[in-house]
């Protein structure tokens, strides 16, 4: 499958997941739900455009009870960059950050902003659990940064690998406590 077809397939899958989640009663956390439905449905969190710098929010929905889904959604939110992000550090990934994450509340600085109309986003994401211990799981995320315009890939960069530490919260959800491309998943992590 060529790069534009992969990108289109990834975008369609993300849109389908968002539509399915919305149709199943999962939506914004403030949506009213019957107590029984809320108790049986896994917690879902969607990126909130109001909490971020200008620009489109990623179309990512993650079931917070699945640490691998949270790791992927965090990566998409943290690595999606638009020209509008030049004015303030984007805070899209805060949706998936644990309260003790050092970047929570300050955003992530962007050093290489794409031109207007172009979005840099991760594609070809591969998530592999590198380690797990107790209420922590470390995921190795390998992805290709791609520049896209109108849903079409115009340039792919070399693959990148980073590590994300997910921690289980007291309410049973998983959130990202740390991201580090140099993290060694061996030991206490």
| 113: Cβ contacts below 8 Å, ≥ 6 apart | 81, 82, 83, 85, 86
* pLDDT tens-digit map of 35-48: 333 344 444 444 44
Mean pLDDT of the chain: 74
**Which residues, listed in sequence order, are joined to residue 131 by a DSSP beta bridge?**
138
pTM over cut 0.75: no
Percent of the chain with pLDDT over 70: 64
Q: What is the pLDDT of residues 82-105, one digit of tens each?
A: 999 988 888 999 999 999 998 888
Average pLDDT, integer, range 115-133:
95
Inform me whether the pLDDT recorded for 54 exceeds 80.
Answer: no
**Tell me, what's the pLDDT at 138?**
96
181, 186, 174: which is closest to 73 by C-alpha? 174
pLDDT at 189: 43
């Amino acid at each position: 499958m060529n790069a534009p077809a992969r990108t289109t397939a990834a975008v369609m899958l993300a849109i389908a997941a968002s539509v399915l989640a919305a149709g199943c009663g999962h939506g914004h956390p403030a949506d009213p739900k019957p107590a029984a439905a809320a108790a049986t449905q896994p917690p879902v969190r969607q990126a909130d455009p109001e909490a971020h710098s200008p620009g489109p929010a990623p179309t990512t929905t993650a079931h917070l009870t699945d640490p691998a889904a949270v790791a992927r959604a965090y990566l998409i939110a943290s690595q999606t960059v638009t020209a509008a992000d030049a004015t303030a550090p984007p805070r899209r990934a805060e949706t998936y950050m644990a309260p003790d994450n050092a970047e929570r509340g300050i955003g992530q600085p962007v050093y290489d902003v794409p031109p207007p109309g172009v979005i840099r986003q991760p594609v070809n994401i591969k998530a592999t659990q590198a380690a797990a211990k107790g209420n922590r799981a470390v995921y190795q995320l390998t992805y290709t940064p791609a520049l896209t315009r109108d849903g079409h890939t115009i340039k792919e960069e070399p693959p990148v690998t980073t590590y994300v530490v997910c921690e289980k919260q007291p309410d049973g959800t998983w959130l990202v406590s740390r991201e580090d491309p140099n993290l060694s998943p061996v030991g206490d992590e």
